[in-house]
Amino acid sequence: MKLSRINRGGVDGPVPRLVVVKPDQGRVVDLVSAEKLRLMRKGATSAGALLRALGLFPGSMAQAISTGSAFLESAAETVAATGDDASIEFSNVEWIAAVDPPMLRDCFAFVAHLEAYYRGVGQEISPVHYRQPGYYKGTNARCFGHEARIPWPHYSDFVDYECEIGFVVGRECHNVDPDEAGKAIFGLTIFNDYSARDCQTDELTMSMGPTKCKDFANGIGPWVTTIDEFDDLSALEMTVRINDKECGRGISSGMQWLPEELLAYISQGGVVQPGDVFGSGTVGNGCGLESGVRVKPGDVIALEISGIGVLRQVLGQKEERGWRPIPRERNVI
111-150 residues in contact with its own copies (CB under 8 A) are: 111-112, 115, 126-142
**Does 256 help bind its own copies (rule: CB under 8 A)?**
yes
Looking at 8-16, 88-96, 107-115, 307-315, which segment touches its own copies (CB under 8 A)? Answer: 107-115
Residues sharing a CB contact under 8 Å with residue 120, sequence separation 6 or more, in sequence order: 289, 290
| CA atoms of 151 and 236, how far apart (whole Å) | 29
Cβ-contact 189, 308 below 8 angstroms: yes
* Start-end of H helices in 29-122: 31-41, 46-56, 61-65, 70-82, 111-121
With contacts defined by CB under 8 A, name the span among 13-21, 69-77, 153-161, 302-310 that binds its own copies. 153-161
The smaller minimum CB distance to its own copies, of residues 29 and 163, is found at 163
* Contact with its own copies (CB under 8 A) among 254, 259, 275, 279: 254
Pick the binder of its own copies from 243, 271, 296, 306 (CB under 8 A). 271
CB of 237 to its own copies, least distance (A): 16
Segment near its own copies (CB under 8 A); pick from 9-17, 45-53, 75-83, 261-269? 261-269
Among 282, 277, 192, residue whose Cα is nearest residue 242: 192
Contact at 8 Å (CB) between 282 and 115? no
Binders of its own copies among 162-221, rule CB under 8 A? 175-178, 196, 202-212, 215-216
What number of helices (H) and strands (E) belong to the chain?
Answer: 9, 19
CB of 92 vs its own copies, minimal distance in Å? 28
Of the candidates 283, 256, 109, the residue with the CA atom closest to the CA atom of residue 192: 283
# chain residues binding its own copies, by CB under 8 A: 72
